[in-house]
Every structure is written in structure tokens, then in C-alpha cells.
Amino acid sequence: MVLDIEQDEGFQRREWRLQRSGTALLVLVVVAALAGLLGTGPVSWTERESADGIATVAFDSITHHEADDSITLTFGPEAVSGGTVTVDLTGTWPGGVDVQGVSPEPAEQRAVPGGIALEFAVEDADRVEVTMGFRAQEYGPLHGEVTVAGRSVSFSQFVLP
């Protein structure tokens, strides 16, 4: 006895091709995520430095809305004036994030046009490192500019859902 089953071989080939394409797309998404193209990872981590090297900003160029993240600001001895370092942080970044904490704690914090100014008391004038923990509150690109001792460093982050 022979069963007579109708098959559409063209449809079956198209379905297999679509399955392979879907599998390849899923593998690409996983690889992109592991690399940091969709958030924190080796491709996302970057540093920006002023032309003279006095100020450096280290950050993830891609972050997620409401996810805990941080940036690190590093300043050379030339940034210290009278035992303090005054940092202006301007652009869309300060208004687009909720700062969770600053370490070390600033001695003074005040609003400046387009952002905030932080003043840190410095004991060791060799190198000053400030870490700011934050959560992004807006989607899309956020741009910031760090100014210390008249030198500026610009940085950008892209906020994903």
C-alpha cells in the first residue's frame, strides 16, 4: 500500500531557508550583545581625553534606560587649584540621567548654565579620580562636556530601552 501525500517542495525549501535565516539572526544578536553593541561590553567601553591629557572621561558609549551605570572622571595635577578641583558637567547628559552617587563626595555642588558644577577637596594633588553612578532617564543620544581648569572633554552615550 502506498500513501499518496501531497507535498509542496518549493514551500518546504522556503520554510527551511527562513528557519536558517532566523537562526543566523538570533546568533548575530547574541554575539552583538556579548561584544557590547547592545549595552555594557568590550566594544562599548571607551575613554575620551583632553588634548593635553589633563582630563579623561571613561564610560560605556551604550547604556540602558533605568540601568545602573557609571562614568569615571580622572584629572591630572594641573586641574588642582588651591587644594580643590572644580568640574563643570554640561550638555544634555546631566539632565538626562539621575545621578545615584558621586565618589568621592563633592565639597560643593551648584547649578551652572546647561548643567552642574562639582567642587572636590583634594589632598593628593597627583591624580584625582571621581566616579559617578547614574541611571539614564531618557532614550536616545545624550551628550556631555566635562570642563576642568579651562580644558574640555566631550562624550556621548546612547540610551537603549
Number of domains within the chain = 2
Domain ranges, residue 31: 8-38
Query: Per mean pLDDT, which range of 36-50, 104-118, 146-160 is the poorest?
Result: 36-50
Task: Specify the pTM.
Answer: 0.78
pLDDT higher than threshold 80 for residue 101? yes
Reported as a single tens digit per residue, the pLDDT across 137-156 is 999 999 999 999 888 999 99
Question: Is 27 in the same domain as 72?
Answer: no
Question: Is 29 in the same domain as 77?
Answer: no
Question: Does 69 reside within a domain?
Answer: yes
Question: Does 2 reside within a domain?
Answer: no
Domain with 155 in it: what CATH number? 2.60.40.680
Question: Are the C-beta atoms of 91 and 151 separated by less than 8 Å?
Answer: no
The C-alpha atoms of residue 147 and residue 60 are separated, in whole angstroms, by 19
Question: Does 3 reside within a domain?
Answer: no
Question: Does 81 reside within a domain?
Answer: yes
Cα dihedral: 57, 58, 62, 64 (round 10): -90
